[in-house]
Structures are given as structure tokens and as C-alpha cells.
Amino acid sequence: MLAVFIYQLDLHYLVPVSNRDLIDADMYRVVRYVIASQKYNEVDLSGNKITQLGAQILAEAIRKNKTLTHLYLVNNRVGDIGVSHLADALEKNTTLTSLKLGGNEIEQKGGEYLGNVLRKNSSNQLGDPGAIELGNALKINNTLASLSLVNNCVEAAGAQALAEGLKEHLTLYELDLWNNKVGDDGAMHLATALKSNRTLRYLYLGKNQIGDNGVEHLASALKENTALTHLYLRKNKITAAGAKHLGDALQQNEMLAQLYLFGNQIGDEGVQHLTMGLKKNQHLAVLDVGCNKLNDKGIGSLISIFEDDSVLSTLDIQFNQIGEKNQAKLI
């Protein structure tokens, strides 16, 4: 059945075979009809039942492939041994730019394998040791464009290693660290990298236990950074003090287009600080302050900015206390 489905995809660049209960034996057909054909750029095998054996079958084909740029294996069971096979294959591969391996029972050794291959390639419970390996690899690798480490255990030391890699890496435009534990110290290290990095456009730091001290460092970096366009700080521990730092940064930053602060605790006082920054900012188009304990005073000031600002096009204030007067303005 899989072969018939793949034949129907002829001339398409993406092969979506996710969530189909595929097992290791099915990987022989994926190799034969997809990877070995040299026709396709993206293969999505997420949500199947692929183990280290299936990863080994895929790895043998990837070693020789010259067209595949994106491989998605999220939520399988490849484990550290499976990652070792993929890493070995990638030492020979120079075309793959995006590899997603979230939810694969990958631990420290798997991270080390990936770190080693990134050093040589010129084209999860990962945790700090694995992240350190990846950070070191970023100093050498100049092919990878998108790195996703969501739902792992990256803490400050891992964030520091990634930050050191960002200082030297020339192609990475997206770093996703959603739901890790980088904290204030990790945010500080990433902020230091942002001051000199000129390629990263998207930085996802939601749900990372970042408080006002960490945000202070990130805000300082925004005053100097000329590349970052999207900053996600949802569900952290940011209060009015952190919002003040961000408001100050918005007065100087000329690149950031979208700022997401959903699920923090900035309150009306924090919103006042943000609005002060928005009055002088001519670039921010999207602001998300949903679920931030806002009342009518803070919401009213934001609505006034939204009405007067020709740049701000999207304002998300859901899950706050919106009175009838302000609700009428939103209609």
C-alpha cells in the first residue's frame, strides 16, 4: 500500500507519510521509492513506529542522497543507536538542512553523535551534554538553517554552548528551544550571542523559566541586534520589571517585527512600559500580551496605541479582564 501511495506523489517535492503506523520493514520501500529516486526534497515520517533498525535503513540511503533537504522523524523510537546511524550517514551528506528528531527517546549519547556529525558536515531528553555538543558543532557547520530542540532538558550550560555556536555560525536562521530550562542564566548567554549574530531571525524561548533578569539581558541585546525579527517569550516568569526592559529596547530596536509575551505576569504596569516603547517604535507589527493579568487601564492604553500606530497590525489581548468600554472599541 505504501508503494502505491508514493507513486501517486510523483513530481511532488514533499512526501507526507506521517502517522501511518509504519514499521522498520516499511523503510525499505521508503528508500526504494523516495530517497533513492533523488526526486524529493522533504520526507515526513513523524508519528510512526520506526526504531534503530529503520533508522539504519534510512541512513544507508541518506549517505548517497543529493536532493533531500528536510527529514522529519518526530515521535518515533529511533533512540541513541538510531541517531548514531543517521549521524554517520550525515558525515557524507551535504544537502540536508533540517532534521527534526523530537520525541525519540534520545539522551546524552544521541546528542553527542549529532554534535560530532555537525562538526564534520559542511553542508528527547537531550539535556545539557547533548546541547553542548551541538553548540560546539555550530562553530564549524555552515549548512544547518533550522535547529529544533523542543521538549528536552536544555539548561543554562547547554544554552551557553549553543550561544557560543551562534556567535560563529553563518546560516542558522531559526532556533527553537520551547519547553526547556534555560532560565535567566541561559537567556543571558543567548543574549550575548545576539549582540553579534547577524543571521538568526526566529528565537523561540517559550516555557523556559525566564524571569526579569533574563529578559533584561535579552532586551539589552535587542538594542544592538539587527537581525532578529521574531522573539517568543510565552509562558515564562516575566513581570512589569521585565516589561520595562523590553519597552526600553523597543525604543531603539529597528528590526523586531513580532513579540510574543502570552502567559506571563506583566500586568497593567508592564503594559504601560511597553506602550512607551511602542510610541517610538516603527517596526513592531505583532504584539501578544494575552493572559497577562491585564485590566481596563492597561488594555485601554494598548488599544489607544493600536488605533494610532500605523505599523502595529495585530494585538492579542485575549484571556485578560476586558471591560465593556474597551470591548466596544474592539468591535
Cα Rg, the chain, nearest whole Å = 22
pLDDT at position 207: 96
To the nearest 10 degrees (0 to 180), the angle between helices 108-120 and 79-90 is: 0
Q: Alpha-carbon distance 275 to 250, whole Å?
A: 9
Amino acid found at 140: I
Confirm whether pTM is higher than 0.85.
Answer: no
Quick: pLDDT tens for 15-64.
788 999 999 999 999 999 888 988 888 999 999 999 999 999 999 999 88
Pairing of strands 174-176, 70-72: unpaired
Per-domain residue ranges of the chain:
1-106
Selection from 2, 145, 141, 123 nearest residue 66 by Cα: 123
**Rounded distance between C-alpha atoms, residue 237 and residue 31, angstroms:** 46
Domain 1-106: give its CATH code. 3.80.10.10
Q: How far is CA 127 from CA 139, 153, 155, 323, in A?
A: 19, 4, 7, 44
Render 247-285 in DSSP notation, one character per residue: HHHHTT-SS--EEE-TTSB-HHHHHHHHHHHHHH-S---
Residue 111 — pLDDT band, cuts 50, 70, 90? low
Q: Given this model, what pLDDT does residue 117 score?
A: 55
**Degrees, nearest 5: CA angle 284-285-290:** 95
Task: Confirm if 317 and 291 have CB atoms less than 8 A apart.
Answer: no
Quick: pLDDT tens for 156-175: 887 887 888 888 877 888 98
Using CA atoms, how far residue 305 sits from 230, 291, 301, 314, 324, in Å, is: 20, 19, 6, 11, 19
pLDDT, tens only, 229-285: 999 999 999 999 999 999 999 999 999 999 999 999 999 999 999 999 999 999 999
Please give the pLDDT value at position 142.
Answer: 64
